[in-house]
Amino acid sequence: MSCVTGFDKRRLSSSTCRFAFALTIALFLTAAEADAQQFPQQFQQAPGQATQMQAPPQTMPAGYPQQNYQQQISAQPSQERLQLIGQWFKNYDDIRRKAQMNPAERAKADALMSKALSMFIPGEEKTQAKALLSSLVARYAQAVDEFKRLPLYPETERLHRGYYQYFTSARQLFSDYLTVQQNPLATDQSGNPVAGTLMARKQNLEGLDQANKAIDSQLRAQFGIPPYQY
């Protein structure tokens, strides 16, 4: 994507950048929908072994609940503890399910993205693409709010924080896709081209998604939680 990383308005080819942007967003939407599939199971623990979860390296955005539920959960009998974790996963799965595209929306997205430059040309297809992106931004914003309301348990804390960060980052990324759809030459507050940041941010988000799914698979195996399904 040298058309944007070596940004120079006098030499920039708008049609090339628009095609590259359309290809990038198509790849991102495809990767985002992999959320419906479980990452291969990893990190199996011996039965009865306590969860050893390290604190996540990221700092959570302002407004995220910081309560520590360690003492509350440790005091619960084993069966009640399992019920708490089971209910947490039920709520967590519901949040993820509402945030992802349904099959009809997936088909519409594939059709729109296959036409590449049409999403930039005024008309019905550009309007549909904008509506789809706006819908995803709204869904991810809702997911962020709902994750704030989930109780922060030590057993699920790393997964909780990981998906909170995922949906926060995805919301901003899709919002910036919308910005670039309207103006491929849009810049951020520092004057840097927004389009030039999209690919790296997309790759970072995919890495976070894979890490989250590995933790998800580990915890489901440990606590006997059924696999996630759409």
Phi and psi angles of residue 65, each rounded to the nearest 5 degrees, phi first? -65, 130
Question: Could you tell me if residue 128 is inside a domain?
Answer: yes
Count of domains observed in the chain: 1
Question: Could you tell me if residue 177 is inside a domain?
Answer: yes
Question: Could you tell me if residue 88 is inside a domain?
Answer: yes
**Tens digit of pLDDT for each residue in 152-209?**
999 999 999 999 999 999 999 989 989 988 898 999 999 999 989 988 998 999 999 9
**Tens digit of pLDDT for each residue in 61-77?**
445 555 444 444 444 44
Print the domain residue range for 127.
Answer: 12-39+78-223
Question: Could you tell me if residue 152 is inside a domain?
Answer: yes
* Residue 94 Cα distances to 36, 185, 208, 221, angstroms: 12, 37, 20, 19
3-state helix, strand, coil in the chain (%, to 5): 65, 0, 35
Question: Could you tell me if residue 68 is inside a domain?
Answer: no
Question: Could you tell me if residue 57 is inside a domain?
Answer: no
Beta strands in 55-153, from DSSP E residues, in sequence order: none
Question: Could you tell me if residue 4 is inside a domain?
Answer: no
Q: Is the pLDDT of residue 79 over 60?
A: yes
Instruction: Give the whole-angstrom CA distance, residue 57 versus residue 55.
Output: 6
Q: Which residue has the higher pLDDT, 17 or 122?
A: 122
**Tens digit of pLDDT for each residue in 80-118?**
899 999 999 999 999 999 998 888 887 877 776 666 566
Instruction: Give the whole-angstrom CA distance, residue 204 versus residue 210.
Output: 10
Amino acid at 89: F
Asked if 56 contacts 163 with a C-beta cutoff of 8 angstroms, the reply is no
Instruction: Give the whole-angstrom CA distance, residue 222 versus residue 107.
Output: 35
Asked if 32 contacts 100 with a C-beta cutoff of 8 angstroms, the reply is yes
